[in-house]
């Protein structure tokens, strides 16, 4: 099987290394680079048309990232009768149904294991569960960079900025880390996962709040309550309604999520017959992600088809499908926004009891308009009350 790689950055070069030192049935014969990139290997070319029109190339691996020109390149590859494997979560989250339909029309495969969970075989196992079961919940740590930051802030007792700098030095965070710390990376992975789980088009609505505003004082306070903060993506499906949310969430220090350290991911699905399945592993990095791409290449080589999805289930988004407790650190003048809720003060923070997720995120936008440095986190699961996890002696019920 002859392979062309589009883009030769961290992931693309990782794919090349694994193939070059692995199965002789696979060979990289072309590497597409931009005109500004020096051609340092004989396989490198700036001529995409030559790759598309080469009948000997069976598969195109897209590792360029971003929406454009990746969208056009993937479509052209599929239309030229070439299988496509990609790690590009942004383009898959937006165009998955289109890519799948075009691939079917041209009798080729479009695989994307590497988009979600790094080296964890999450997509493949989600597909396996969904082919015989009704998946109703997806939840977990989808982003290795944010997990590394939160873990180091707690276990190494560091501030946000130096940990973010260390994450950049280690290659976990990009020069612009916004997608990781603001939650957009998790949003794309959650969209892909929900689309597969529920056989629906990738959702457009995902209430999102990241970790940009978390402080060492927040982490220390949570630790004093025996709680650990993680950035979580979560989706639920109930009947013909579904929800999605990306937000910081507190877990008991004994929970699996609380003990997922460094850049590791922990992702869970719940099916009505299989129950809970959890997947743990490297969520970021050159070789874990490249490994996932090569797994997809093996599936093409060995004619192992993936789940066939039409993405046409007519589900309705409901931001308030989840109800949970939240803790808010903000200017006290913003607390009046929650006067119609049951609340209590804990160490100068406001705990809001059993508030729908959509309502909380909407109110949080108003809080941020007054206090741009405010921070919030969900507390445990919806059935856990704040008094069970935040138990300071000086609580004052104000709602």
Residues with active-site annotation = 189
Q: How far apart are CA 46 and CA 137, in angstroms?
A: 44
| Maximal C-alpha separation, the chain | 73
DSSP 294-314: HHHHHHHHTT-----------
For residues 81 and 104, is the Cβ–Cβ distance under 8 A?
Answer: no
CA distance 90 to 187: 9
Contact 385, 325 (CB under 8 A): yes
Q: Which residues contact 387 (CB under 8 A, 6 or more apart)?
A: 395
Q: Kindly tell me the burial class for residue 296, based on how many C-beta atoms sit within 10 Å of its own C-beta (0-12, 13-18, 19 or more).
A: buried
Rounded to a whole number, what is the distance in angstroms from the first to the last CA of the chain? 66
Residue 319: partners with Cβ closer than 8 Å, 6 or more residues away: 205, 207, 243, 245, 356, 357, 358, 359, 361
Q: Give the integer Cα–Cα distance in Å for 383 and 388.
A: 10
The Cα 247–Cα 390 span in angstroms is: 19
Residues 246 and 231: beta-carbon distance below 8 Å: yes
What kind and span of H or E run contains 100?
helix 89-105
Which residues fall within 8 angstroms of residue 139, CB to CB, at 6 or more apart? 232, 233, 234, 235, 267, 268
- Per the DSSP assignment, residues forming a β-bridge with 48 are none
Residues ≥6 apart with Cβ < 8 Å to 317:
203, 204, 205, 241, 242, 243, 244
6, 53, 2: which is closest to 33 by C-alpha? Answer: 6
């Amino acid at each position: 099987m002859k392979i062309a790689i589009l883009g030769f950055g961290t992931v693309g070069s990782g794919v090349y290394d694994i193939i070059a030192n692995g199965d002789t049935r696979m060979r990289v014969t072309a590497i597409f680079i931009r005109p500004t990139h020096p051609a340092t290997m004989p396989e490198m070319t700036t001529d995409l048309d030559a790759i598309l029109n080469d009948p000997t190339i069976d598969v195109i691996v897209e590792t360029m990232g971003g929406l454009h020109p990746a969208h056009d390149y993937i479509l052209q590859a599929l239309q030229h009768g070439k299988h496509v494997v990609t790690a590009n979560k942004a383009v898959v989250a937006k165009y998955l149904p289109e890519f799948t339909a075009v691939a079917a029309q041209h009798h080729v495969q479009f695989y994307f294991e590497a988009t979600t969970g790094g080296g964890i075989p999450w997509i493949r196992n989600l597909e396996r569960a969904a082919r015989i079961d009704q998946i109703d919940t997806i939840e977990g740590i989808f982003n290795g960079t944010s997990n590394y930051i939160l873990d180091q802030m707690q276990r190494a007792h560091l501030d946000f900025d130096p940990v973010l700098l260390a994450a950049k030095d280690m290659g976990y965070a990009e020069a612009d880390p916004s997608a990781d710390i603001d939650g957009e990376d998790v949003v794309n992975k959650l969209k892909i996962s929900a689309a597969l789980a529920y056989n629906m088009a990738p959702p457009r609505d995902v209430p999102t709040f990241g970790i940009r505003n978390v402080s060492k004082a927040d982490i220390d306070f949570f630790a004093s309550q025996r709680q650990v903060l993680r950035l979580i993506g979560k989706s639920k499906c109930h009947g013909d309604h579904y929800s999605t949310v990306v937000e910081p969430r507190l877990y008991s220090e004994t929970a699996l999520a609380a003990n997922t350290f460094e850049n590791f991911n922990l992702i869970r699905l719940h099916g009505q017959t299989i129950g809970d399945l959890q997947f743990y592993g490297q969520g970021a990095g050159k070789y874990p992600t490249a490994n996932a791409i090569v797994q997809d290449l093996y599936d093409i080589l060995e004619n192992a088809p993936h789940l066939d999805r039409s993405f046409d289930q007519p589900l309705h988004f409901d931001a308030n499908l989840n109800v949970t407790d939240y803790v808010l650190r903000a200017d006290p003048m913003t607390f009046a926004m929650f006067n119609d809720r049951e609340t209590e003060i804990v160490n100068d923070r406001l705990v809001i009891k059993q508030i729908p997720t959509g309502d909380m995120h909407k109110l949080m936008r108003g809080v941020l308009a007054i206090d741009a440095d405010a921070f919030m986190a969900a507390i445990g699961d919806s059935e856990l009350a704040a008094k069970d996890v935040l138990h300071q002696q000086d609580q004052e019920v104000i709602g």
